[in-house]
Structure 1
Amino acid sequence: MAKADAVPDVSPTPRHQHLIVTVYGLYARSQDGTFAVADLIQLLGDLGVESAGVRSSVSRLKKRGVLVSLKRGGSAAYKLSPELEDVFSAGDERIFAPRRAQKDDGWLLASFSVPEAQRHLRHRLRTILTRVGCGQVSPGLWIAPGNLADEVEHQLRRAQLMEYVDLFKATHLSGGHIDEKVGQWWDLPSLEALYTEFLARHQPVLQRWEKHEGESESPELLKQAFADYVPMVTQWRRLPYMDPGLPEEYLPDNWHGLAAQELFTKLHALLGPKAQHYAMSVVASN
């Protein structure tokens, strides 16, 4: 996350639209990317969202091109836009299978120049670089761990912006400690605050579920797993994009991102299958 850009909304109480996107990303792709409106209302109702809020949020997502409306078995339904399938697939890897960079990975440099007449593309470029986890060295020079090279190039090509960008693999040769430079290129304190908030909100959830270990998976227990899991994933899923996955040697002491990643991994393993079972049971019953 570059210092020049505002921190994305990762509030502990996710917006309705964010919850809907998470539900689609987790469960709709096994249903051809489609949910009947009734299914969506029930699932979001289990997360505390009233039906009017679901319909309003779905309408906004439709206007943004995230969802498209259709009929399924004579009933109203919404489907993920086919254009976003590769976005969700890439997100699966970034969110559920992250890889922290090693020192030997080196650095990726992205140098860009945009004509003044197309300055709107400059903002788009910076937005993409920020979302993929790049830091800012100077206005036209951005940096990321070398292991992100393929992803950065893919995102820039997808946005048809590569003609303005040159990418380089690099080694840091200047004097001084690289961790000091890292603190200039990325806003680590803001990211640390978000990880701390994630831990504060979801550590108690893990502790509560550890007490249920060994219990039979009753319908109510599965429903509670769904209600805990989806907001947790919703809060988490932006963080791996904001965090470049820097080598541990370059991170501040007691970096909470490592503990937050461990917590997410445990909750995903514990609650993910239960939440999946519940969501599919709702879809099958309607």
Structure 2
Amino acid sequence: MTVTIEDNEPQQSDPQPRELIVTLFGLYARAQSNWLPVAGLVRMMADLGVDGPAVRSSVSRLKRRDILISERHEGAVGYALSSSALEVIAEGDTRIFHRGRGTVEDGWIILVFSVPESERDRRHTLRTTLTRLGFGTVAPGVWIAPGRLARETREMLERKGLSAYAELFDGQHLAFGDLRSKVRRWWDLEGLTLQYAEFVRRHRPTLAEFGARAAPPEQAFAAYVPMLTEWRRLPYLDPGLPLSLLPAGWHGVTAEQLFNDLNDTLSGPAREHAVQVIHRRR
């Protein structure tokens, strides 16, 4: 399937400053004792085209959401990821950098949930969590995902205190209807295709530019961090559905290969630049 992104079709939005900040902490703070100095963060964000006021506003929002916490190291002011944010980012490493893809033989997990009307906030949290895990919707209150996500799903629901509202089953599709057609209904494959195509459109020129030569560290950094920030949304929308159930020429394969090539090409020099910036004196 060939997909063309026209000017009047939905475009993938540029990463927000707070998303870029989370990416920076995930990439570089964890290797620096889970801490970045304020000055280093502001300098890195400036290299990404984000000014100081936008950085401060975004950091304030991330602190209110318990993603970042203030810490001083040897008298220097800085920020660290909260313990809960560290857990989420560590879980995301596998999906983002080492994502697998299921097969029909892996089967499925089916989740059925019921939340009392008096706990509507829990229902919203549960739905948001299942969407983040990549579940598709079979019917109201009935969600489905590839079988390989069973452990991740169980651990996520237990950690969020949602397991009491859900029943989790594993099984196979036995009969009635074409499974390929059903997968198209359970997941928004058309929307995913457009997002994958847009990722390729936006970032294929970067690979063409740096694929044949060593990427200068500052340029690599400026290209790599936004690219990774955009990519990390996609593995949570596409749970690694079996290729045999997806449209021919599934654009996610092309996009994933592009991401892997860009990661191999840019991550090293980008880290070199980030470390220099973090340790630069005021």
Task: Specify the TM-score bucket, using the shorter chain as the normaliser.
Answer: over 0.9
**1:230 corresponds to which of 225, 229, 235:** 225
Deviation at 1:49, TM superposition (A): 0.7
Unpaired runs of 5+ in structure 2? 1-9
* RMSD, aligned α-carbons: 1.4
Distance in 1 between the 2:184 and 2:211 partners? 37
Amino acid of the structure 2 residue aligned with 1:257: G
With structure 1 as the length reference, what TM-score do the two structures score?
0.92
How many corresponding residue pairs? 272
After TM superposition, give the deviation of residue 155 of structure 1 in Å: 1.0
Q: Hey, what does 1:258 align to over in structure 2?
A: 253
For the Cα contact (< 8 Å) 1:12–1:201, is it kept in 2? no
CA distance in 2: counterparts of 1:183 and 1:260, whole angstroms: 19
Deviation at 1:10, TM superposition (A): 8.8
Give the stretch that moved more between structures: 52-61 or 114-123.
Answer: 114-123
Aligned equivalent of 2:192: 191
The residue that corresponds to 1:95 in the other structure is: 96
Per-residue deviation at 1:41?
0.6
Q: Work out whether 1:33 is the aligned partner of 2:34.
A: yes
Q: Does 1:283 align with 2:278?
A: yes
Q: What's 1:272 paired with?
A: 267
Task: Using the TM superposition, give the Cα deviation of residue 255 of structure 1 relative to its aligned residue in structure 2, in angstroms.
Answer: 1.3
Moved more, 148-157 or 67-76: 67-76
The answer to whether the 8 Å contact 1:106/1:146 transfers is yes
**1:197 positional shift:** 0.6
How far did residue 273 of structure 1 move?
Answer: 1.0
Preserved CA contact (<8 Å) 1:10 1:238: no
CA distance, structure 2, for counterparts of residue 113 and residue 148 of structure 1: 21
Q: Larger deviation: 84-93 or 232-241?
A: 84-93
User: What TM-score, normalized to structure 2?
Assistant: 0.93
Contact 2:224 2:267 in 1 (8 A): yes
State the secondary structure of the residue aligned to 1:285. coil
| Structure 1 segment 116-155 matched on structure 2, within 5 A | 116-155=117-156
- 8 A Cα contact 1:16 1:53, kept in partner: yes
Deviations 1:108-165 (Å, cap 9, x if unpaired)? Answer: 0001111222222111111100110000001111000000111111111111010111
Per-residue Cα deviation, 1:214-271 (whole angstroms, up to 9, x for no partner) = x4x6xxx101001000000000001001101100000012211110000000000110
Q: 1:10 to 1:73 in 2, by over 3 A?
A: farther
Verify the 8 A CA contact 2:17 2:55 in the aligned structure 1. Answer: yes
Question: For residues 53 and 120 of structure 1, what CA distance do their matches in structure 2 show?
Answer: 30
Q: 2 CA distance for matches of 1:285 and 1:205?
A: 27
Q: Check 1:10–1:54 CA distance in 2 against 1; reply closer, same or farther (3 A cut).
A: farther
Matched, 1:249 2:250: no
Q: CA deviation at 1:102?
A: 1.3
Q: 1:176 offset after TM fit, Å? A: 2.4
Amino acid at match of 2:133: V
Long gaps (5+) in structure 1: 1-8
Contact 1:10–1:235, Cα closer than 8 Å, also in 2: no
SS at match of 1:108: strand
Once residues 116 and 159 of structure 2 are traced to their aligned partners in structure 1, the CA distance between those partners, rounded to angstroms, is 20
Structure 1 consecutive aligned stretches of length 4 or more whose deviation exceeds 2 Å:
9-12
- Looking at structure 2, the residues matched to 160 and 10 of structure 1 have their Cα atoms a distance apart, in angstroms, of 36
**Contact (CA 8 Å) 1:41, 1:54: kept in 2 or not?**
yes
